[in-house]
Structure 1
Amino acid sequence: MTRRLPTHLLVAALIRRVNDAGGIAVVRARGDADAGAILIILERENTVVERAIGPDGGDILVESGPGATRDESIEDYWKRRRQRDPDLWVVALDVADSQRFAAETILA
């Protein structure tokens, strides 16, 4: 089992990197500081991603959020997720190539 950095440090690093690149990163909801999951809203792509375990057992980013068959906004989606998981962090990114920032920071 690999040891992960505490969630609050990953979120702080992501925010710093996005801001340094001239983008905007906003924490919409704070979760558990040490072990909360992170839901990342990619504003420009109108997409949601989160860390998951890949087929090889390593971490990957997977697309999440309301599917095409659901009449639900991203805002409603993350609020519903927070009701079920109060430890969940929700971070919104508005920067060019935001998925790259998320992957390089969260999966590193």
Structure 2
Amino acid sequence: MDARLAPGIEVTALIRRAEGLGGFGTVLHKGDPDRGTIVLAVAERGEHRALLERRMQADWSYRWTVVGASAGDSAGAVQDVARVRARDPDCWVLELDIPSSERFIAETTSVS
């Protein structure tokens, strides 16, 4: 089983990672500090690029997965986030506005 950080700690690390890349991050919805999923709304210069969610895989490991609305579909992303929050009220929702968002998304979702 994958050891993973508590969401409250991981959220702080993700925001610092965004800042280290020259962007910024903000918490849109604060979830339970010890449990719950994390959803990342990734943007570049204010334009929606992707929605990522950390999901448990069939082998019980966790992996970041692109979910929901496609790039540029901000309204669809808002609806997708609402669905996740309805399913998991303990979830965290972050917005990360990052230069070179495609690279961030590729690095985050790649399997090591």
**TM-score when normalising by structure 1:** 0.75
- Give the equivalent residue in structure 2 for 1:77: 80
- Give the equivalent residue in structure 1 for 2:5: 5
- Give the equivalent residue in structure 1 for 2:61: 58
Q: Does the C-alpha gap of structure 1 residues 39 and 13 become closer, same or farther in structure 2, counting only changes over 3 Å? A: same
Distance 2:54 2:78 in 1: 19
Quick one: which of 48, 52, 55 aligns to 1:49?
Answer: 52
- Aligned-residue RMSD, C-alpha: 2.7
Q: Counterparts of 1:31-42 in structure 2 under 5 Å?
A: 31-42=31-42
What are the ranges of 5 or more consecutive residues in structure 1 without an aligned counterpart? none
SS at match of 2:53: strand
- Give the equivalent residue in structure 2 for 1:14: 14
* Number of residue equivalences: 102
**Which has the higher mean CA deviation after the structures are superposed, 53-62 or 10-19?**
53-62
